[in-house]
Chains A and B, each alone.
Chain A
Amino acid sequence: MKLTEDDSYRTSTQYKHWSFTPAQLASQRRKTNARASARVRANVARQRAERAQLPDNANANASASETDRTGSGVDTGANTPVSADHEVDCLTQDEEMRLVDTFCERALELGKFCKFPTEVTATGIQFLRRFYLFNSPMTYEGQNISRTAMFIANKTEGNHTSVETYAARFPKVTAEQVLAPEYLLVQALRFNFEIRHPFRGLKGGHMELLEMARGHFAPLPADERTSAGVQREMQHLPLKPGGPPTQLAVPALEKRVADAYAFASNVLKTAALLTDAYFLYTPPQIWLSAHLLADEPLTLFYLSAKLPPTHPAHAKTVTTLAACAALLAAHRSFTSDTTSADAKAARNKADAALIKKLRSCRDPDKLDLVKLNQAQKRDAVEGSGALEGGKAKRRKIQREAYEKEADEFWGPELAKNGGRPV
């Protein structure tokens, strides 16, 4: 019984649960947006109705939540003075996607700022993208979630830091705030922590290309060429697709391979992370497309060494790689050199406007994640807004019953101060 590389990829959760067609992605995002908008509208309406019922306490409530709010650092839509009949202006699906992209870019900067390894940042960003596929930025605020996603990514990739050390990197952030959305996030990830990145694959391909350039390459059994023949062919590769054949010396060829690697690696660290490439393509396809963007003749030559052009899957592979490369090349990090300063400024302005819009349509129930998290734990804060009163009460009664039962059997808890009179 033999297993191939593809079989091993098909066993991964990335393939099983986190691979989509573009249509599926779009429909999922539409669904998420519709559900989140409905929630926001319903919750805001409920909150307004409550406030209307208690006109005297309104101001007190508002000021109380004002102080709460400083923790999360985000303005709430609920407290802005809007007239009751004004419908909340929710984000559209496109706006949501742009927001998520912005969050991801910030997460990338965060990774750079904290000097995390590339894998950690990349995993964190993919966690974020997966999370926002099924949750809306209107429900859960990006800043909190990306902080926690990065923390989980640190643990996933084996780059362990204590939560206190991690939280200390951010101004005015406590460990609790980092941990509050952790379970929520992990649940939304369906406990699938493994992200298959194209980074190591790129290294493997680079290793083989270097061996090819030096004439030590071991061709596949089906390939009749010798390693020297491969080297000769490689030396004659054109620099540009359709260009004239060249005659490169081995050191020059090595430099060409190294340059392509550096370029592709940079694409993988930016554009590949910030697009939907991980959802739509497999890691080998991603790194090969990045390499294709770097040096097309070289990549196609390498591809032909792996999959001869006569192979039925060759054409399909090339098409897939081209599509993936187009996706990567369309990202603004790739085109940033050619965009004008005006366009950049306009984009920044649009982002700012979007964030402002987000503040006016946040789900009031999910503002304070720390409190929500506490409410779900055993030491639930009495009368916390998130948990319905009945549920909290029932839980409290149940817990007391259990405690009483335990006390009857084991005896009551020992005094904390060792029985000394207080």
Chain B
Amino acid sequence: MALPTRRASGAPTKRLAEDGGASPLSRNLHNLSLQPSNATARPPPQTDTSSDICPVCKSSRYLNPNMKFLVNPECYHKMCESCVDRIFSHGPAPCPIAGCKRTLRKARFRKQTFEDLKVEREVDIRKRVAKAMNKCESDFETLKDYNDYLETVESLTWNLILKVDVDDTERRLRLWEDAQKAELHPNATIRRNLDPDPSLPSDTAHVVLKKGATQRKLPINTTTSNNGPNPPAADDKAPDAGFSFAGLKKRIAPEPEKPFDPYGGWSFDPQFYVLQEDYNTPWLAPYKDNPDYLAGGYDITDFYDRALGDAFSGFGVFIEEEVKARKGSAKAKKGTAKAVKAAASNGAVKDVDMDDVF
């Protein structure tokens, strides 16, 4: 029987590790883990027999070498795969470990990564906190602000790990997550606020539902917390973001991407003609509504534009002046002249053009 009760100090640590996540135990477990003298005094035995026995069905690895143990991050109670299949196949069910009433779902069971379940749990918590509190140094005005932020994050993490003030911390973390999400996807929140569907449970109700039974009993308006930076007063203007950090720069949303312009900002601006809707010219009449041309997507206005563009492209170009004014060509001419001279000095007079392809 693996009862999640407090054991005598002489109880083997492995048993404690097994029940690591159970909430009534966490403080004691932490106390134990913080006692290095204890750990060094009683090293765990080399042959760990109890960890090979499923606490639910009592089957042992000795009989079934393929047995796998799974844990659920809800309470971190270990049980074998066949127990998980048996108990949770038909939907969520309470944890079969005595004293643990948490509702578990099969989908969330997984193999444990660390042998020590405390470590496993801490890693999970840190992962979650790091996902929500993802500011970096460049987001803050000064290094001190950033360090204050890091300190807040760390105390928040330890609150969760050590189960100190869990409800309030959880609430604030959730508020922070929502605020971050709203900042990143402003359209999603606008849409949600615009048409709240009365048939569906509201967002906050959903959040409450997700919370555990113990949390549900507690009132949610606990804004008085001593640790961490002072939470902002519930204002009408600024919604409670859970945390407020001094010196946190406001996030600047990136510019919305402009539509692609194949001409790179250039546009054709005719100065010598104004394109009309239609031109009535006898020789154009047969093409205007001939299905032979229209079927292929031919548009007569393209011809108008092109004809008028041709009519005036170069209208204001005076070759005599511009050719004389060309600077680059003078250099080029010099270059070719030199080349010709070189070719001529080579012996026989050569042709101007590059006759030999090789």
What residues make up the interface of A, taking CB atoms closer than 8 Å to B? 1-6, 8-10, 15, 19-22, 24, 32, 35, 38-39, 42, 134-135, 139, 183-184, 187-188, 196, 198, 200-208, 210-211, 214, 216-221, 258, 280-285, 287-288, 306-307, 313, 316-317, 320, 376, 395
Chain B residue numbers with a CB within 8 Å of A35 are 349, 351-352
| Closest CB pairs A-B (n = 10) | A282-B314, A204-B307, A9-B314, A204-B311, A201-B311, A2-B269, A284-B315, A5-B313, A201-B310, A204-B308
In angstroms, Cα B281 to Cα A219, docked, is 18
Tell me if B323 and A24 are in contact (CB < 8 A): yes
Given contacts A42-B349, A135-B353, contact A282 B273 (CB under 8 A): no
Complex interface: stretch among B129-137, B148-156, B215-223, B260-268 = B260-268
Tell me if B309 and A183 are in contact (CB < 8 A): no
Partner of B316, one of A6, A211, A217, A376: A6
Question: In the assembled complex, how far is the CB of residue B315 from the closest CB belonging to chain A, in whole angstroms?
Answer: 4
Name the residue on A nearest B264 (C-beta). Answer: A1
What residues make up the interface of B, taking CB atoms closer than 8 Å to A? 265-276, 279-282, 284, 304, 306-320, 322-324, 348-349, 351-358
Tell me if B270 and A4 are in contact (CB < 8 A): yes
Which label, helix, strand, loop or mixed, suits the secondary structure of the B interface?
loop
Tell me if B268 and A8 are in contact (CB < 8 A): yes
Partner of A282, one of B270, B274, B317, B324: B317
Chain A residue numbers with a CB within 8 Å of B307 are 200-201, 203-204, 207
In angstroms, Cα B316 to Cα A395, docked, is 52
Tell me if A282 and B319 are in contact (CB < 8 A): yes
In angstroms, Cα B340 to Cα A35, docked, is 10
Which label, helix, strand, loop or mixed, suits the secondary structure of the A interface?
helix
Tell me if B353 and A282 are in contact (CB < 8 A): no
Tell me if A1 and B311 are in contact (CB < 8 A): no
The number of inter-chain residue pairs (CB within 8 angstroms) is 164
Chain B residue numbers with a CB within 8 Å of A281 are 319
Partner of A5, one of B315, B318, B354: B315
Name the residue on A nearest B304 (C-beta). Answer: A207
Chain B residue numbers with a CB within 8 Å of A284 are 310-315
Question: In the assembled complex, how far is the CB of residue A46 from the closest CB belonging to chain B, in whole angstroms?
Answer: 9
Chain A residue numbers with a CB within 8 Å of B358 are 376, 395
In angstroms, Cα B77 to Cα A163, docked, is 86
Tell me if B319 and A210 are in contact (CB < 8 A): no
Tell me if B280 and A8 are in contact (CB < 8 A): no
- Residue of A1, A9, A207, A214 most packed against chain B (CB within 10 A): A207
In angstroms, Cα B353 to Cα A206, docked, is 41
Partner of B324, one of A21, A188, A204: A21
Chain B residue numbers with a CB within 8 Å of A22 are 320
Given contacts A214-B280, A282-B319, contact A376 B272 (CB under 8 A): no
Tell me if B266 and A6 are in contact (CB < 8 A): no
In angstroms, Cα B313 to Cα A225, docked, is 24
Chain A residue numbers with a CB within 8 Å of B316 are 4-6, 313, 317
Partner of A196, one of B276, B284, B314, B348: B314
Tell me if B279 and A211 are in contact (CB < 8 A): yes
Partner of A19, one of B273, B282, B319: B319
Given contacts A6-B313, A210-B279, contact A220 B349 (CB under 8 A): no
Other than the given A6-B314, A220-B271, 5 more pairs (CB < 8 A) read A2-B266, A42-B348, A187-B353, A200-B307, A220-B274
Chain A residue numbers with a CB within 8 Å of B323 are 19-21, 24
- Residue of A20, A211, A284 most packed against chain B (CB within 10 A): A284
Chain B residue numbers with a CB within 8 Å of A218 are 274-276
Tell me if B273 and A220 are in contact (CB < 8 A): yes
In angstroms, Cα B268 to Cα A4, docked, is 6
Tell me if B352 and A32 are in contact (CB < 8 A): yes
In angstroms, Cα B322 to Cα A141, docked, is 34
In angstroms, Cα B314 to Cα A360, docked, is 43
Chain B residue numbers with a CB within 8 Å of A207 are 279, 281, 284, 304, 307-308
In angstroms, Cα B311 to Cα A374, docked, is 44
In angstroms, Cα B357 to Cα A42, docked, is 23
Tell me if A21 and B320 are in contact (CB < 8 A): yes
Name the residue on B nearest A279 (C-beta). Answer: B319
Partner of B313, one of A8, A38, A205: A8
Tell me if B320 and A1 are in contact (CB < 8 A): no
Given contacts A5-B315, A183-B357, contact A280 B351 (CB under 8 A): no
In angstroms, Cα B31 to Cα A374, docked, is 96
